[in-house]
């Protein structure tokens, strides 16, 4: 979906059954369906697809058909499509299919990063001069509306060197007397973003300002294009998907579930899984280190998964919470001390809760089944105290880790639930066996 | 941010420092800052806040001041603010502060659920009759634009009983000859949603249609209001936050991090943590069941965390991936068989990878440090084969669980990473010790 498709054919809907089955169709089936549609239906479908799907559809076609579809797109969408190709020659081949007016626009857009304002903007917008009268401005707007301009509801007021002076909405123009000048009714110093502003910052600017579109300017204030609200929804959705996948402990996918190939899937999941496995090997080392203690009291091994997983769970909660709060800018790096202080207290509270349940579970089993013998109290105390330590440590490290990652320049979302859980497993073992050495083993007459 | 604030004062920005520190201020500080601002600045600030913050700010004020702030809001925002209050009397007190025109509108909005189209819509929109000429329609639009109508860029064409006949954009009107009739230039059968359409479905409809706004109609096609694109960004953002928090293994918070009280935080995290702890107790039962085997070969205990956490990690990956794909409607319930088939193959692939690493780790340690004695091969085979089983099972259950939850009417996001990991821990133990009984213990001369 793009700003250009918005007003040109926004009120029609495609066949529901098709749209429902489309996301799960194979590429061959898609191509077949696409080819069998009327040109009109096919064009509607084509315009609703995302750039990756568009690229996949037109790649197998002959060049003269590719041209038809490519020219259907506004500049920013054509650029997004071409950006799907990694090969420079393939890119050049598609660029050559554009008409002489579009080609330089698309080439300019291709020079920007995909995830910054310049890569997101549309190069076509409505504009006027400050000394026009309102009547002239309305007539001029009408002219531009017949052209390829997408967002006609705001017009940007520019000087002769295309520097942004102000903005005027269609609504302001309608409400103003016909003989007044644009500069009298326009709003000065409009909200704008720079070409290299990160797309998340653009999304926030649009959300906070309540605007339908925001202009993109260069360092000297020359207008370069505009970004509309609907582009930002895609950004918000994509960023959330990326964070969710990272939180789940895999590398973010570039494509939807069914469009990600088997080997890509294996790579993006296998990489992190192997890394987590290698880190988790430290638990085998730690357990090996406490092997004597386990031989002395095998019952210790029985509670290992229960104790260490509690640390992992509390850590996953804390890290997920902080990752999302940082993404929404509810929590900033400079709040780190307040966050850590708060989370330690919450960790102690949560740990105390599990401590009580754990103590009760062991005492109850002893009472009901006589499971643990005469030293059950020492065992219960060991498990209960370990839980306080492990949960507090999990909460603390889970909340601190995303902030540490941000501080050293990484995405906080890499502090995924499985990653934090793995870290907590190792420390949890050390906490548990250290407490056992003091509380349980002496009561068994060991050492 | 609301559709109403959109065009009435969209181009001004508040002091950056204030807006940066605002999210982390205490309520007392906020009130103090708010009271010390000029009325104009305060009103700008007030309009940018979300309903919960607005409610917190005006609750301590005397009624005549509350009235000023409440009347500043358009109907749908006033309704959102009042909806923050649980107490019926407090709601009535605020409703009484509205003027006689707004009160019935707000009361009507309060009757809708917060998360359905009716609760999201604005009751004010631009409209016209089908038999008006384009010139008349433009003049009429101008009249309405001076009024409190938010989205002036689409006008809805209604019959005498307010039934929705079509839609016409400002752009269409501008491009059409002045003497043509609205019914000739309007688009028939516009995209619309029902009053009780879920907000996520509304968001998707708007995204897919590429519209700036969508009308809300009742069963008989009477227009009730409109929902604009900016409302949908908040929906998309909120739904993602909710899913992320659930995936992290806690109950979704109603408020931002700093605005959630300590006890609320303890409750929303403690509830799930306790539930996970109770489920994880099954590991103690399972380990107790295999206590004899551990006594016979303590080395078995050493690899317990490594083996079972691998199942949890692969399960977290799979469940997170499927939860998000279902939220984006990339994966539907009826695809379950294809998903499960694909995930089992991926699980086997991932398991095979860890199998190789695990086998290599144990063989290498034996070679370097002589850690495991003469039976190291049986041990390595036990761990390696368990990894294939555990990871395949983790991937299978992690991908199936969100679909099962959806099938029985729960939110798939409840198949959180820690929840899946807990389930995998128990089954992982059973798989590991069962394999050990066949492969390792006999080679030690046991049984």
Q: Locate the chain A residue with the closest alpha carbon to B2.
A: A210
Q: In chain A, which residues have their Cβ closer than 8 Å to the Cβ of B47?
A: 210
Q: Are strands A193-194 and A213-217 parallel, antiparallel or unpaired?
A: parallel
Question: How close does chain B come to A439, measured CA to CA in Å?
Answer: 20
Query: Does the structure show a pLDDT above 60 at A295?
Result: yes
pLDDT of residue A385: 95
Strand partners, A69: none
Separation CA B353–CA B331 (nearest Å): 27
pLDDT of residue A2: 37
Query: What is the distance in angstroms between the CA of the first residue and the CA of the last residue of chain A?
Result: 71
d(CA B294, CA B275) in angstroms, rounded, equals 28
Q: What is the CATH number of domain A257-444?
A: 1.10.357.20
- In chain A, whose CA is at the least distance from the CA of B151? A171
Of residues A262, A323, A354, nearest to B274 (C-beta):
A354
For position B8, what pLDDT does the model report?
38
Number of H helices, E strands in chain B: 22, 7
For B287, which of A6, A302, A425 is closest by C-beta distance? Answer: A302
Burial A133-160 (b: 16+ CB within 10 A, else e): bbebbbebbeebbeeebbbbbbbbbbee
Q: What is the mean pLDDT of residues B110-125?
A: 82
Report the C-alpha gap between B347 and B353 in whole angstroms: 10
A24 and B283 within 8 Å at the Cβ level: the answer is no
Test the A interface: residue of B244, B335, B354 with most A CBs within 10 Å: B244
| Cα separation values, B25 from A204, A405, A437, B53, B84, Å | 20, 25, 46, 11, 20
Size of interface A-B (CB pairs under 8 A): 391
Alpha carbons within 13 angstroms on the beta-carbon side of residue A109 total 26
Lowest mean pLDDT among A190-204, A416-430, B18-32: B18-32
A311 and A427 Cβ atoms separated by less than 8 Å: yes
Among candidates A210, A287, A319 on the partner chain, residue whose Cβ is nearest the Cβ of B10: A210
Mean pLDDT within B345-350: 95
Which of A14, A324, A351 is the mutation pick for testing B, counting most B CBs within 10 A? A324
Quote the pLDDT of residue B4.
Answer: 37
Choosing among 3.40.640.10, 3.40.190.10, 1.20.1050.10, 3.10.580.10, the CATH entry for B126-237 is 3.10.580.10
pLDDT digits 0-9 by tens, A193-226: 999 998 888 988 888 787 888 999 999 999 999 9
Q: pLDDT tier at B221 (50, 70, 90 boundaries)?
A: very high
CA-CA-CA-CA torsion sign (A336, A341, A344, A350) = negative
Distance set, CA A274 to CA A232, A261, B313, B358, B386 (Å): 35, 19, 10, 10, 15
Domain residues of chain A, as ranges? Answer: 3-111, 126-237, 257-444
pLDDT score for B400? 94
Q: What residues of A are in contact with residue B335 (Cβ under 8 Å)?
A: 24
Nearest to B240 among A212, A240, A322 (CB): A240
Average pLDDT, chain A: 86
Q: Does ipTM come in above 0.85?
A: no
| CB neighbourhood size of B192 (10 A) | 19
User: For A238-278, what is each residue's pLDDT tens digit?
Assistant: 889 999 998 888 888 888 888 888 888 899 999 999 999 99
Instruction: Give A149's pLDDT tier (boundaries 50, 70, 90).
Output: low
Which chain A positions have a beta carbon within 8 Å of B7's beta carbon?
A: 169, 171
Rounded to an integer, the average pLDDT of B404-411 is 90
Flag if A262 and B346 touch (Cβ within 8 Å).
yes
Supply the pLDDT for residue B166.
94
Residue with the bigger pLDDT between B211 and B304: it is B304
| Chain A residues inside the 8 Å CB shell of B429 | 305
Does the pLDDT value for residue B445 go beyond 70? no
pLDDT band at B146 (very low <50, low <70, confident <90, very high): low
The pLDDT mean for chain B works out to 86
Euclidean distance between CA atoms B152 and B156, whole angstroms: 10
Q: Is the pLDDT of residue A16 over 80?
A: no
Min Cα separation B181/chain A (Å): 19
Which of B274, B328, B350 is facing A353, going by the closest CB pair?
Answer: B274
Q: How far apart are CA B397 and CA A280, in angstroms?
A: 21
B139 interaction partners in chain A (CB closer than 8 Å)? none
Mean pLDDT of B377-391: 94
> CA nearest B425 in A: which residue?
A305
Please name the member of A48, A276, A324 whose beta carbon is closest to the beta carbon of B244: A324
B262 contacts A345? CB cut-off 8 A: yes
Contact A361 B317 (CB under 8 A): no
**Does the pLDDT of residue B337 top 50, yes or no?**
yes
The answer to whether B9 and B44 have CB atoms below 8 angstroms apart is: yes
Residue B142's φ and ψ, nearest 5 degrees, are: -65, -40
Our CA-based measurement puts residue A184 at a distance from the nearest CA of chain B, in whole angstroms, of: 15
Given this model, what pLDDT does residue A352 score? 95
> B266 vs A237: CB contact, 8 Å cut-off?
no
With CB atoms and an 8 Å threshold, state whether B309 touches A1: no
Contact B350 A284 (CB under 8 A): no
Topology (CATH level 3) of domain A3-111: MgtE N-terminal fold (1.25.60)
**Distance to chain B for A77, nearest Cα, Å:** 14
Across the interface, do A417 and B316 touch by the CB < 8 Å criterion?
Answer: yes
Q: What is the pLDDT of residue B234?
A: 83
Is A262 in contact with B345 (Cβ distance < 8 A)?
A: yes
List pLDDT tens digits, range A314-361: 999 999 999 999 988 888 888 899 999 999 999 999 999 999 999 999
**Inter-chain touch A208–B371, beta carbons under 8 Å:** no
pLDDT band at B6 (very low <50, low <70, confident <90, very high): very low
Considering CB atoms only, which of B317, B319, B321 is closest to A257?
A: B321
Sign of CA dihedral B425, B427, B430, B435: negative
B319 contacts in chain A (CB < 8 Å): 248
pLDDT band at B298 (very low <50, low <70, confident <90, very high): confident
According to CATH, the topology of domain B257-443 is Tetracycline Repressor; domain 2 (1.10.357)
By the 8 A CB rule, do A364 and A287 touch?
no
Q: What percent of chain B clears pLDDT 70, i.e. is strictly above it?
A: 93
Neighbours of B439 (CB within 10 A): 20
Four-residue CA torsion sign, B379, B380, B386, B390: positive
Arithmetic mean of pLDDT, B61-82: 86
> Residues near B145 by Cβ (< 8 Å), separated by ≥ 6?
A171, A174, A175, B126, B152
The verdict on a CB contact (< 8 Å) between B247 and A248 is: yes
What single DSSP character describes residue A73? S
Q: Which residues of B touch A23 (CB under 8 A)?
A: 329-330
- Largest separation between any pair of C-alpha atoms in chain B: 100
pLDDT band at A150 (very low <50, low <70, confident <90, very high): low
Note the pLDDT tens digit of each residue in B279-295.
898 998 888 888 888 88
Tell me which residue in A170, A320, A354 faces B248 most closely, judged by beta carbons.
A320
Q: What is the pLDDT of residue A395?
A: 95
Q: How far is B142 from chain A (nearest CA, A)?
A: 6
Could A329 and B23 be called an inter-chain contact, meaning their C-beta atoms sit closer than 8 Å? yes
Find the residue in A nearest to B286 (Cα): A302
Residue A146 has pLDDT above 90, yes or no: no
Option in A1, A169, A350 nearest B210 (CB): A1
Over residues B347-356, the mean pLDDT reads 95
């Amino acid at each position: 979906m793009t700003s250009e498709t918005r007003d040109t054919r926004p009120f029609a809907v495609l066949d529901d059954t098709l749209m429902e089955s489309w996301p799960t169709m194979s590429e061959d089936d898609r191509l077949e369906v696409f080819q069998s549609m009327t040109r009109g239906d096919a064009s509607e479908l084509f315009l609703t697809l995302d750039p990756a799907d568009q690229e996949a559809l037109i790649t197998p076609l002959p060049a003269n058909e590719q041209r038809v579809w490519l020219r259907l797109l506004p500049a920013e969408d054509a650029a997004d499509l071409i950006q799907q190709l990694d090969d420079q020659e393939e890119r050049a081949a598609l660029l050559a299919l554009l008409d002489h007016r579009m080609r330089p626009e698309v080439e300019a857009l291709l020079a920007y990063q995909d995830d910054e304002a310049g890569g997101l903007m549309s190069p076509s917008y409505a504009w006027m001069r400050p000394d026009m009268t309102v009547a002239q401005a309305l007539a001029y707007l009408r002219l531009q509306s017949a052209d390829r301009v997408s967002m006609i509801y705001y017009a940007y007021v520019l000087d002769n060197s295309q520097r942004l002076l102000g903005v005027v909405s269609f609504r302001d123009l309608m409400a103003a007397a016909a003989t007044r000048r644009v500069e009298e009714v326009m709003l000065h110093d409009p909200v704008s973003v720079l070409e290299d502003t990160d797309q998340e910052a653009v999304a926030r600017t649009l959300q906070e300002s309540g605007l339908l579109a925001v202009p993109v300017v260069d360092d000297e204030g020359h207008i370069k294009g505009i970004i509309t609200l609907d582009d930002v929804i895609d950004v918000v959705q994509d960023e959330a998907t990326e964070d969710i996948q990272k939180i789940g402990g895999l590398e973010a996918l570039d494509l939807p579930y069914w469009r990600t190939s088997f080997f890509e899937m294996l790579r993006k999941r296998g990489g992190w899984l192997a890394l987590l496995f290698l880190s988790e090997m430290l638990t085998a080392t730690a357990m090996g280190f406490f092997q004597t203690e386990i031989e002395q009291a095998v019952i210790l091994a029985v509670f290992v998964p229960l104790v260490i997983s509690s640390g992992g769970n509390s850590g996953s909660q804390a890290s997920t919470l902080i990752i999302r709060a940082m993404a929404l800018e509810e929590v900033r790096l400079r709040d780190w001390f307040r966050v850590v202080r708060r989370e330690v207290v919450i960790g102690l509270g949560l740990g105390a809760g599990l401590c009580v349940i754990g103590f009760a579970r062991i005492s109850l089993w002893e009472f009901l089944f006589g499971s643990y013998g005469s030293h059950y109290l020492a065992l219960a105390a060991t498990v209960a105290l370990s839980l306080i330590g492990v949960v507090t440590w999990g909460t603390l490290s889970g909340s601190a880790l995303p902030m540490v990652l941000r501080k050293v320049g990484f995405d906080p979302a890499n502090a995924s639930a499985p990653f934090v859980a793995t870290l907590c497993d190792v420390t949890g073992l050390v906490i548990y066996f250290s407490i056992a050495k003091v509380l349980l083993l002496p009561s068994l007459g060991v050492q």
